[in-house]
Amino acid sequence: MEINRRHFTYGLAAGTLLSSLPAAAQEKRLGYCIVGLGRISMGHFMPACKMSQRSRVTALVSGHPDKAAKMAQEYDVPTKNLYNYDDFDKIAGNPDIDAVYIALPNNMHAEYTIRAANAGKHVLCEKPMATTVKDSQNMIAACKAANKRLMIAYRCQYEPTNLLAIKMIRDGTLGTIQAIESANGFNEKAGEWRLDKKMAGGGPLMDVGIYSLNACRYLIGEEPVKFSAYATVIDQDGRFNTVEENDGWTMRFPSGVVASCNTTYGANMPGFFRVHGSKGMIHMEPAFAYEGIRLKAEIHGQAPVDQSEEEKDPAQFVREADYFAVCVFSNQEPKTNGQEGLRDMQHMEQIYKSAGRTMG
């Protein structure tokens, strides 16, 4: 089965937007202010900006001066563009900063998105969008009032192999979709901020389970209308005093498709999804990793499909950062905008409600 992925990758969408820009704008790189120097920013997003032709790191916000100074030297960020959380609002007067990339604990996403918008900057915010539906709505309102773009960092929605799965489903290659299965999780160590509900908003559902939730939605292009969920704690070792260890849930979609999902902080659970249709099945594993994404498909009457994404980390972050840059320069609404993030927040609220828990 020959499938040409080039026709529906990020490159086509971003390239179309880019070609409509004036020549001077096509050469411009978006200046990102990195808010929060942690694993995902320093290990993935910032190296991506260094590799990018559309993005660059121009400012840093951190509560650790030594770390900020070290990163500033590596990324040629001038001392005047180093901020802490108290003087963050001063970014308003800095023309080097076009947008902020927010890589903070979940409960800080709303505050710094709103402050960034008020400072006149566009926002690329990591997922989950926030810890409550209300905060998510406030983020959208602040960016709208400031006429600034808000994008949630759903990098898998720009990753070619995930886009291949979507295209196969939309083209009817699998026939009528009947069911989806997905899981994602890992064994979280004690002391991590993700185990503090005040900071995280919830357990693994808010962190890695959201990948399965979002995937089910973008794979079939529908919003779930019914949830049944369970949340449990198996390991009584002190890690899970405020958040759940495991979440399992089913979702029914308007078409009748049922998705079954699991996520955990208690075991290594490689991220995957399987989509079952009347003509065959897609299995992606890993589906959500930073590299090595692999798709297998068995379609009745056709040769098996086995395709792997050969890009290496941080290529997915390059694509994500550059897509947002092009959206800003072309004044286009990002595909994974604030409304997309809000929908996941609303669905997770319902999952927690079904499981007898609360979010936030």
Residues 170 and 72 in one domain: no
Residues 171 and 251 in one domain: yes
Say which CATH number the domain at 193 has. Answer: 3.30.360.10
For residues 269 and 286, what is the distance between their CA atoms, to the nearest angstrom?
Answer: 10
How confident is the model at residue 18, as a pLDDT? 52
Number of compact structural domains in the chain? 2
Residue 105 belongs to some domain of the structure: yes
E strands along 216-319, which residues? 226-232, 246-252, 258-264, 266-277, 280-284, 294-299, 305-308
The arrangement of strands across the sheet holding 246-252 comes to 226-232, 246-252, 258-264, 177-187, 266-277, 280-284, 294-299, 305-308
Residue 333 belongs to some domain of the structure: no
Residue 360 belongs to some domain of the structure: no
For residues 31 and 64, what is the distance between their CA atoms, to the nearest angstrom?
Answer: 22
Residues 121 and 28 in one domain: yes
How confident is the model at residue 9, as a pLDDT? 42
How many CB atoms are located within 10 Å of the residue 223 CB?
A: 12
Residue 232 belongs to some domain of the structure: yes
Residues 25 and 150 in one domain: yes
pTM over 0.85, yes/no:
yes
Domain of residue 233 covers 160-308
Residues 31 and 72 in one domain: yes
Residues annotated catalytic, as ranges: 127, 211
Residues 79 and 176 in one domain: no
Residues 174 and 104 in one domain: no
Give the residue ranges of the chain where pLDDT is below 70. 1-26
The residues that bridge with 80 in the sheet, in sequence order, are none
Residue 188 belongs to some domain of the structure: yes
Residue 3 belongs to some domain of the structure: no
Please work out, in degrees rounded to the nearest 5, the angle formed at the alpha carbon of residue 118 by the alpha carbons of 111 and 32: 80
Scanning 31-93, the segments in alpha helix (DSSP H) are 39-40, 46-51, 65-75
Q: Are strands 177-187 and 266-277 parallel, antiparallel or unpaired?
A: antiparallel
Residues 201 and 280 in one domain: yes
